[in-house]
Amino acid sequence: MNAVPRGRGLPASDGSPDGRSSGLKVCLNGRILPLAAARLSVFDRGFLFGDGIYETIRSYGGRPFRLREHLARLADSARRLDFRLPVPAGGFKRAVARVLAANGLREARIRIVVSRGAGRPELSAIGALRPTWLVYALPYAPPPAAAYRDGVAAIIPSVVRNDRRAVDPAMKASSLLNNLFAARAAARAGAREAIMLNPAGFVAEAASANVFWVKSGVLCTPALECGILAGITRNLVLDLARRLGIPVRGGAFRPDAILRADEAFVTASTIEILPLKSLGRRRYPRARPVTRALELAYRVTVRAELGL
């Protein structure tokens, strides 16, 4: 089977994500290979059971942003899933650099995927397996400029975020079915984002992003205890808010809190800070002073940290 998921419609002959021959090269278990030559065992547990973890990183000018933090979270996810990473952080860093160079990419969306490895196709057959690991990078395709200018639409779907007692959202696991269902519900409603609740009915996070809102000048966001991922961008936004003197409140919030907000936005490495123009029938004011200030501070921080 091909290492990278194929696009919509009929499979491409080379397995390229966009259905076209791309000359893409990936790093599979430490080897740089053409995409069509990158193969996994049919008994790999990541494929069979979603028994794996991942990280998605944005590069600017050929430099991955906050890669150290992403790799620390990858290690934490491996610990939560109870397996050892196949290479140290330095090995992943070198693989990221090699993949970017092999594909001639500077502005890229990088993904690191680690599965428990291949073994007997039984749920309980874990054993001492050798993990499979993959690093690939695709050209970065940002949301349209209008999305940042006008904001994007969001809904609150019926599907909820994972219960922390089941698959803890604090672990960036490869099994993403409930996120997929939420994202599809948003697409069917003509929205870009799905703001998910946790099983207790409190606001959790978007299908692939963290969520913030502003009320009377106070920046609010669900606490980690609500069952959310400790986003790398989320952490930076919280730090930037404190530097800018913006009051921050974290906690457990019912949906009414975000529906009554003056501003709202979602954050992730690949979208940075993306404002919401609506949540269901609630439309937010076009003036977004707090969001704008954080957007500017975020971009300044990226340039400063990467020396751009």
pTM of the full predicted structure?
0.91
Question: The dihedral of CA 30, 208, 1, 47: what is its sign?
Answer: positive
Tokens of 153: 């639409």
Residue 19 scores a pLDDT above 50:
no
Whether the predicted pLDDT of 20 surpasses 60: no
Q: What is the mean pLDDT of residues 76-99?
A: 96
For the ranges 1-15, 141-155, 157-171, 267-281, which has the lowest average pLDDT? 1-15
pLDDT at 198 over 50: yes
Residue 1 pLDDT level (bands cut at 50, 70, 90): very low
Scanning the structure block, which residue is given the tokens 């008994």? 43
pLDDT(147) > 60: yes
The CATH T-level fold of domain 145-306 is D-amino Acid Aminotransferase; Chain A, domain 2 (3.20.10)
Which residues in 8-46 are b (16+ Cβ under 10 Å) and which e?
Answer: eeeebebbbbebeebebbbbbbeebbebbebebeeebbb
Give the pLDDT mean for 244-267.
98
Mean pLDDT along residues 97-116: 98
Q: Tell me the mean pLDDT in the region 2-28.
A: 55
Mean pLDDT of 151-161: 97
The domain spans of the chain are 25-139, 145-306
pLDDT average, residue stretch 26-46: 96
pLDDT in tens, 291-306: 999 999 999 999 999 9
Query: What is the reported pLDDT for 5?
Result: 34
Closest by CA to 219, choosing from 146, 138, 289, is: 289
pLDDT at 250 over 60: yes
How far is residue 155's CA from residue 207's CA, in Å, rounded to a whole number? Answer: 11
Q: Which fold has domain 25-139?
A: D-amino Acid Aminotransferase; Chain A, domain 1 (3.30.470)
Are 67 and 93 spatial neighbours (Cβ–Cβ below 8 Å)? yes
CA distances from 185 to 76, 157, 189, 207, 279 (A): 30, 6, 6, 10, 13
- Residue 119: pLDDT band (50, 70, 90) is confident
pLDDT of residue 120: 86
Token code pair at residue 306 = 């990467």
Confidence grade of residue 124 (pLDDT, cut at 50, 70, 90): confident
